[in-house]
Amino acid sequence: MKTMLFLCTGNYYRSRFAEELFNALSPNNWRAISRGVAVDLGTGNIGPIAHATAQALRERGVAFDRDSARHPLQVSVGELDAADHIVALKRTEHLPLIRARFTAWAETAPPERIEYWHIHDIDFAPPEMALPLIETHVRDLIERLT
């Protein structure tokens, strides 16, 4: 089983949507996890996952219960090393955080192991815009993998 790692800042909204949608649609030989690069910066996050994420998943037929969802998780170097492929949801936001918080890993990781998308967080794009973009990228990613 190969591991896809989705990263965003707080592991509360974008990466969680990508993870759950990927797992619902992905080929059998891939499994996604998601983590935050800087979970400590998600001070305004209430509960285990964004309401918009849970709602968007249900609208797409993905069975998801927000109340029993896990809370955001901080990524570790071990998880970065173990992932077969990594997607960070926004280059301009996440590349500096990865370089600052995981300097040694960022300096030695092969560049082809991580790809960056350009999905704004909720402060720049509402869920009605961002989540469909993530869905398009996830579907394209799955097509590339199959």
**Rounded distance, CA 35 to CA 58, Å?**
21
User: Which residues partner with 88 through β-bridges?
Assistant: 7, 116
Domain 2-145 has CATH 3.40.50.2300: yes
pLDDT for the residue numbered 56: 96
- Ordered by start, the domain boundaries in the chain are 2-145
Q: Helix H segments across 60-117?
A: 77-82, 91-101, 103-108
pLDDT for the residue numbered 81: 96
**Rounded distance, CA 72 to CA 30, Å?**
21
Closest CA to 43 of 70, 10, 11: 10
pLDDT for the residue numbered 87: 98
pTM value is 0.95
pLDDT for the residue numbered 28: 80
Tens of each residue's pLDDT in the chain, 146 residues = 999 999 999 999 999 999 999 999 987 899 999 999 999 987 778 889 999 999 999 999 998 888 889 999 999 999 999 999 999 999 999 999 999 999 999 999 998 899 999 999 988 999 999 999 999 999 999 999 98
- Report residue 123 as tokens: 């402060």
